[in-house]
Structure 1
Amino acid sequence: MAELTPLAISVLALLHERPMHAYEMYQVLLHRHNHRIVKTRPGSLYHTVERLAGQEFVRATGTERAGNRPERTTYELTEAGAAALRLRVETGLETYTNEYPLFPVVLAEAHNLERADALLRFRRRIEELDRLITEYDATDADLRSREVPEAYWLTVGYLRSQLIAERDWLTTTIERIESKDLPWHPRKK
């Protein structure tokens, strides 16, 4: 069995809630801000649904048309799809996977920048991190006010904590560069 992609996990989880058509899945993912944790594009979503149908993890239950809109096929989760979702969540929770994000790569090469330029870029990143943390704070407050059970949005706290850790690490790194505790020697051309 092929490993489920993050988008496939999200699709199966949505269909675990109820049958939906692909466009509805896309709208729900955006509404729930899941596009912050999984790359969500309509074309990719439709392709993922088709692939899951080919694997017999989902099945079409009917097609409908509303007005001038295109036909929409509604899908439901199969028993095999529910089992695949459960297994992927179980293994994903217990097994660390290095996902190779871009930031560590460019951070490893930051020494190629002049000291002042690197500090400027680090400060701009901190500003962006602060903006994102504020967004997560607002999302947290909204979900709490609507009394959505926290088990459904654990990701918000996790991602917020990651952003804070990165911001704090960058703040300390800037202080170390400025105090010369961390000497900065850009590569010579």
Structure 2
Amino acid sequence: MPARTLDNPLVLPVLGLLLESPMHPYQVEVTLRERSEEGQWPLNRGSLNNVVAALASAGWIEEHERAQREGRPARTVYALTEAGHAELVSRLDLQIRSAAREFSPFFAAISYLGALGREGAVDALTERAERLTARIESDQARHTRALDDGVPALFVVEADYALHAARGELAWIASTISDIHSGRLTWPAPQTKDVRA
């Protein structure tokens, strides 16, 4: 198993889920999908199985039991080892302390917002704001439901962070649209190419 598999973004959530309780890979997959409606994790069964194999090879997880229900294949349930717990804590500490820039596809796209022209930019940003508003409402309802069901706020702190980040993005979009309408955000005059040979 290549060592770079341990750099896969799935390593952290898999270790985190196994901190909660021992699970077999299918349970991990289902739980990650349930907790990530927008597909924030690059999740497919092949990459997840590779990550689980790499974690086991590294000694960060170990076989806890083999579970089998009637008529189903046996599934290996994995548990976090002490070394895995230490690795999880180390990675969490490093990532939370780091203020490294995180580049998203949206960040890359807005770098070239001017190519859309004023109207195109306003249309695209307005549609994104509408979709973002709908997502915020849905995420807020799920977050509220979890808290109302007695889930400790610490266990859904990432949902709270995501809501704050989305609201910040929504505010930026509204401000940018306002700046386009007011003329504070200007577009350069179109350049004509000299087609003389």
Q: Name 2:102's counterpart in structure 1.
A: 99
Q: Name 1:158's counterpart in structure 2.
A: 161
Q: Name 1:74's counterpart in structure 2.
A: 77
Give 1:177's aligned amino acid: I
Cα distance in 2 for partners of 1:139, 1:168 equals 22
- Structure 1 counterpart SS, 2:59: coil
Give 1:56's aligned amino acid: G
Structure 1, unaligned stretches of length 5 or more? none
Deviation at 1:66, TM superposition (A): 2.6
Larger Rg: 2
Would the aligned equivalents of 1:4 and 1:88 in 2 still touch at CA under 8 Å? no
Deviation at 1:158, TM superposition (A): 0.8
Matches for 1:79-158 after TM superposition, within 5 Å: 79-158=82-161
Structure 2, unaligned stretches of length 5 or more? none
Query: For residues 147-185 of structure 1, what are the alpha-carbon distances to aligned partners after superposition, in whole Å with 9 as ceiling and x for unaligned?
Result: 110000111111111111111111111111111111123
Query: For residues 21-66 of structure 1, what are the alpha-carbon distances to aligned partners after superposition, in whole Å with 9 as ceiling and x for unaligned?
Result: 1001111222333765433322221111011111111112343433
Deviation at 1:114, TM superposition (A): 2.0
Query: For residues 105-149 of structure 1, what are the alpha-carbon distances to aligned partners after superposition, in whole Å with 9 as ceiling and x for unaligned?
Result: 110111111221111111111011101110111012101210110
- Structure 1 counterpart SS, 2:32: helix
Q: TM-score, normalised by structure 2?
A: 0.86
- Structure 1 counterpart SS, 2:10: helix
What count of residue pairs does the alignment treat as equivalent? 189
Would the aligned equivalents of 1:112 and 1:187 in 2 still touch at CA under 8 Å? no
Q: Establish whether residue 24 from structure 1 lines up as the match of residue 32 from structure 2.
A: no
- Higher alpha-carbon deviation: 65-74 or 41-50: 65-74
